């Protein structure tokens, strides 16, 4: 049954009960009205009987007085007006008896009719007596004695019976009125009580049904709203609530399917995003292998790299000595393997010292400090990296090696212009006299030696032990001062007993930097050294062990 039908049935039943109460109300009023009418009629009849009795008594007394007057003394007759008045009083009495007869039930009319007949005969006799009184007294007395007195006796005998009947009728009407009143009140209360109980029961059942259904819908929708798509609303009724519950269940089923599809799609999308991220990371890694991080970021954001002027950059050129001869004696595979090993070691060193590898040309390795991140410490960092490059080459030049190579290093400091050239195989490069002059410095270096320009020397002389080579002629036939960097100043390598103890522990020695060197580095550049060629830390004695 649908909710509409339930409500229609409930309201119809309540309206029916309301109509039943109205019917009972009107029926009760009708019953009470009928009993009141009967009661009023009985009272009226009783009053009429009392009036009839009073009229008879009055007429009888008047006739008795007249009869006594007629006997005691002679009198004359009554005037016509008085006779007419007397006749009217008799007619009134007869009219009241007629009225009483009409007000009575048929069963009482039969009993009233003899009384009415005798009263009518008595009235005629009294009227004859009244008309002949004082005129024909004998006739009047004869009428009174022969007809009036016997009839009066009969009337007076019937009158008490009539009064008794009317008294019973009044009592019966009163009892009937009380009974009907009690009955109607009881019926009204019973019907009202039954109607109220039925209405409350129907309203309770309907409201309970609707409340339970709505609560289930509310709980189900709340659970669904929290994301529990496995929730199902358990309403099996074939009505609007059942339809709504079915719609919600179908909706949650569709949402569950959609969520499963969405989850699968998200999984696939996440997998693809991971693949894209991996590819992007590979691309960025490749790009970072080609370009500095800042340059690569600018290229990704803008699609191009604007040329930049760097007023202070240290350029390092390193050339492998003996490589050309090895190309004639070594297999290509071995030659490439060796060159890869050397240049990989150089790459690791430049990373540790914060330098930027620019390019390799054959057996020539080029890197720079102070680019693209500007820093005042780049000349010192480049020289320390150069010492480590020489050490790396010396470590590989053992007797069992395929080739006994050495390295020439030239370093120069000055301004450069940097940028990215090309669109397919682009590369980060630097240009300017500083680059060319650094190449000339490298050309005039010696194997496993670091050759410094005068400008670089002036920037690093407070850190490194340098040897002035005098004026050296370049390819352009220019005489320039050049310097060999022979090592770190001994004063910066001096170790205290505590420092020597630290060096004796391998794990700490790997990160140990001589305090004097570190202190001067911080004073000059306001930062810590990125790294340190630790093989220098083992070349000096403590303060107490130094020779005098």
Is the peptide bond preceding residue 142 cis, with omega within 30 degrees of 0?
no
pLDDT band at 22 (very low <50, low <70, confident <90, very high): confident
HEC string of 259-274 equals HHHHHHHHHHHHHHHH
DSSP 52-111: HHHHHHHHHHHHHHHHHHHHHS--PPPPHHHHHHHHHHHHHHHHHHHHHHHHS-HHHHHH
Separation between Cα atoms, residue 281 and residue 284, nearest integer Å: 5
Question: Which residue in the block uniquely carries the two structure tokens 């240009």?
Answer: 431
Give me the pLDDT at residue 507, please: 44
Q: What is the pLDDT of residues 280-328, one digit of tens each?
A: 776 666 555 555 666 666 666 765 667 889 999 999 999 999 888 888 8
This prediction's pTM: 0.52
| pLDDT at 254 (0 to 100) | 78
With a CB cutoff of 8 Å and minimum separation 6, the contacts of 220 are 231, 232, 233, 245, 248
pLDDT tens track for 198-241: 888 888 887 887 787 777 777 777 777 777 767 677 777 777 76
In Å, how far from its chain's centre is CA 269? 28
pLDDT surpasses 70 at 373: yes
Residue 484 pLDDT > 90: yes
Q: Which region among 74-83, 99-108, 318-327 has the lowest average model confidence (pLDDT)?
A: 74-83
Helix H or strand E segment including 255 = helix 240-290
User: How confident is the model at residue 546, as a pLDDT?
Assistant: 40
Distance from C-alpha of 237 to C-alpha of 324, rounded to nearest angstrom: 96
Q: Are strands 479-488 and 464-473 parallel, antiparallel or unpaired?
A: antiparallel
Window from 119-133, 265-279, 414-428 with minimum mean pLDDT: 414-428
Query: Mean pLDDT of all residues in the chain?
Result: 83
Task: Identify the CA nearest to 459 among candidates 505, 413, 526.
Answer: 413
Q: Secondary structure of 347-363 in the HEC alphabet?
A: HHHHHHCCCEEEEEECC
Check residue 483 and give its pLDDT.
97
The DSSP output letter for 493 is H
Measuring CA to CA, which residue among 458, 498, 463 is closest to residue 482?
Answer: 458
State residue 457's pLDDT score.
97
User: For helices 80-103 and 3-72, what crossing angle results, to 10°?
Assistant: 150
| Helical (H) or strand (E) element with 345 | helix 332-352
| Sign of the Cα pseudo-torsion (457, 462, 463, 465, in order) | positive
Task: Confirm if 392 and 327 have CB atoms less than 8 A apart.
Answer: no
Alpha carbon distance 521, 530 (integer Å): 10
Predicted local confidence at residue 505, as pLDDT: 61
Instruction: Tokens for 495, please give them.
Output: 């170790």
Written as one string, the DSSP assignment of 296-312 is: HHHHHHHSS---EEEEE
């Amino acid at each position: 049954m649908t909710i509409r039908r339930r409500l229609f049935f409930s309201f119809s039943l309540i309206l029916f009960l309301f109509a039943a109460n109205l019917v009972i109300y009107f029926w009760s009023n009708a019953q009470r009205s009928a009993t009141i009418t009967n009661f009023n009629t009985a009272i009226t009849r009783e009053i009429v009987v009392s009036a009839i009795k009073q009229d008879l008594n009055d007429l009888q007394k008047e006739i008795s007085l007249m009869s006594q007057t007629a006997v005691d003394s002679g009198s004359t007759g009554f005037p016509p007006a008085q006779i007419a008045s007397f006749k009217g009083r008799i007619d009134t009495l007869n009219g009241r008896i007629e009225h009483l007869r009409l007000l009575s039930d048929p069963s009482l009319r039969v009993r009233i009719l003899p009384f009415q007949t005798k009263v009518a005969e008595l009235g005629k006799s009294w009227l004859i007596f009244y008309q002949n009184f004082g005129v024909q007294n004998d006739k009047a007395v004869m009428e009174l004695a022969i007809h009036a007195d016997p009839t009066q006796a009969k009337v007076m005998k019937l009158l008490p019976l009539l009064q008794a009947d009317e008294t019973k009728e009044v009592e019966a009407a009163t009892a009937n009125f009380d009974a009907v009143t009690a009955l109607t009140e009881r019926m009204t209360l019973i019907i009202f009580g039954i109607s109220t109980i039925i209405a409350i029961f129907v309203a309770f059942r309907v409201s309970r049904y609707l409340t339970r259904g709505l609560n289930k819908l509310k709980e189900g929708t709340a659970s669904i709203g929290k994301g529990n798509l496995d929730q199902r609303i358990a309403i099996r009724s074939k009505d609007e609530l059942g339809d709504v519950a079915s719609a919600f269940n179908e909706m949650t089923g569709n949402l569950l399917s959609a969520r499963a599809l969405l989850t699968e799609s998200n999984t696939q999308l996440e997998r693809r995003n991971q693949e894209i991220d991996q590819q992007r990371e590979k691309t960025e890694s490749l790009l970072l292998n080609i370009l500095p991080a800042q340059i690569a970021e600018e290229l990704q954001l803008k699609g191009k790299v604007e040329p930049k002027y760097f007023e202070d950059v240290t350029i390092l050129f390193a050339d492998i000595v003996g490589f050309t001869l090895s190309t004639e004696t070594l297999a290509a595979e071995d030659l490439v393997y060796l060159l890869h090993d050397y240049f990989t070691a150089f790459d690791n060193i430049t990373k540790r010292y914060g330098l930027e590898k620019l390019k390799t040309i054959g057996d020539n390795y080029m890197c720079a400090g102070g680019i693209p991140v500007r820093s005042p410490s780049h000349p010192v960092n480049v020289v320390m990296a150069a010492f480590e490059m020489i050490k790396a080459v010396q470590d590989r030049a053992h007797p069992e090696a395929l080739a006994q190579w050495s390295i020439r290093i030239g370093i120069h400091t000055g301004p450069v212009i940097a940028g990215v050239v090309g669109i397919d195989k682009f590369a980060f490069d630097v240009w300017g006299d500083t680059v060319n002059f650094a190449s000339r410095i490298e050309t005039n270096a010696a194997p496993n030696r670091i050759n410094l320009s005068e400008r670089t020397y002036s920037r690093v002389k407070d850190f490194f032990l340098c040897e002035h080579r005098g004026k050296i002629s370049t390819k352009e036939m220019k005489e320039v001062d050049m310097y060999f960097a022979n090592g770190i100043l001994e004063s910066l390598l001096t170790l205290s007993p505590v420092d020597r103890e630290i060096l004796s522990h391998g794990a700490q020695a790997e990160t140990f930097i001589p305090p004097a060197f570190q202190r001067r580095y911080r004073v000059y550049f306001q930062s810590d050294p990125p790294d340190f060629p630790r093989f220098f830390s083992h070349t000096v004695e403590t303060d107490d062990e130094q020779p005098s």
